[in-house]
Structure 1
């Protein structure tokens, strides 16, 4: 009986030590903000505008080389129009930073937290995340692909869900060719 108890205790200790030092291959990869790029494109009845915005910080979580989560903070003060020059560029950049749009004085950052990640293939995933813009959080679903130390994600965002209603035909009548469409695109090329 004593030998059985000793054997059980010894087996328990061995199991505890083994499981304590055995870890699942988890990895947090920090995004290199200076080597990553986020581009945006907004649409209106008479055309579109596009530009860039900077990542302040971010990371992707992996488990056994599979994406499992992540988080990004976007520096909203860096909104930059790339399809205009001179006064027109300055006016649009300023207007996008104003309270009509992103209100960067009160909300200098936006945040995306990856909540659910589902593999679609070898390096492709469908992600659902919580996106916070202007203090409002809404779910977004998008695709992301990962190749080596790079990731590419494309998001379509409905600005009105974040309280950005300026010249939206859903909130204002008779805008005609002055209307700005509710959805805008973000394309992120990330390096980690």
Structure 2
């Protein structure tokens, strides 16, 4: 048996061992078809997203560990009426993907792979967007799940088995568009509106394959095996700060 066939067989056997949809615990975002965005009242005040103080965090898992990083926010605004968030949107710069747990050539290799057609295909889809379609007081219905015991990993002396937000105040629904696919997601968030500033934080899990983020350009057992060796579930976190007035430029 030549080395190519051995490599394919190893990947395929690995996929069989880890393809039972294992996933980390945490809050699963509710995902459905994209919703219509209603026009915000003209009486609402727009708060510009401070792109140098805001970011999206991500954590991806594989059987042997995890990788984590950030995605920069290009621009955005939050609409507020009578002290409540009633709308808003922000744009992600997919070329600003940062891998935080690696350095040097390994960091560059993973970053370039995430930007490639295997994942986000940033040359064709340089941005992703999130547009709010609804905000409600948090009801407590979206409780965190325990995940799969096999996903309780210890990486860099940290146990990773749950990804959820403590004490959420609101449920946010919006259309998340990545790689040309728009889907509605609902997740708990902690939202604060004070004089001149809005902050919003969230932590939830999504299935990356629903947005076509997989090895779909490749065919055969090897491609499917590689895809199975990276878990479908991805942790996503939003840390947004928005202020009245002109938007700030993203720090480089």
Deviations 1:11-39 (A, max 9, x none): xxxxxxxxxxxx99622111100111221
Shift of 1:82: 0.4
| Shift in CA distance, 24/76, structure 1 to aligned 2, threshold 3 Å | closer
- Equivalent residue number for residue 229 of structure 2: 179
Determine which of 87, 90, 95 is the counterpart of 1:77: 95
Calculate the TM-score normalised by the size of structure 1. 0.78
Gaps in structure 2 of 5+ consecutive residues: 1-40, 140-166, 243-252
2:57, 2:241 → 1: CA distance? 15
Determine which of 81, 84, 98 is the counterpart of 2:116: 98
Q: Which has the higher contact order (CA 8 A, sep 6+)?
A: 2
2:60 is aligned with 1:60: no
- Equivalent residue number for residue 174 of structure 2: 129
Name the SS for the 1:154 alignment partner.
strand
Deviations 1:26-62 (A, max 9, x none): 2211110011122111111111100111000111111
1:151, 1:139 → 2: CA distance? 18
Count of aligned pairs between the two proteins: 167
If you compute each CA radius of gyration, which structure gives the higher value, 1 or 2? 1
Q: Which protein is richer in strand relative to its size?
A: 1
Poorly superposed stretches of 4+, deviation over 6 Å = 171-174
Deviations 1:96-121 (A, max 9, x none): 00000000000000011111111128
Gaps in structure 1 of 5+ consecutive residues: 1-22
Shift of 1:123: 7.6
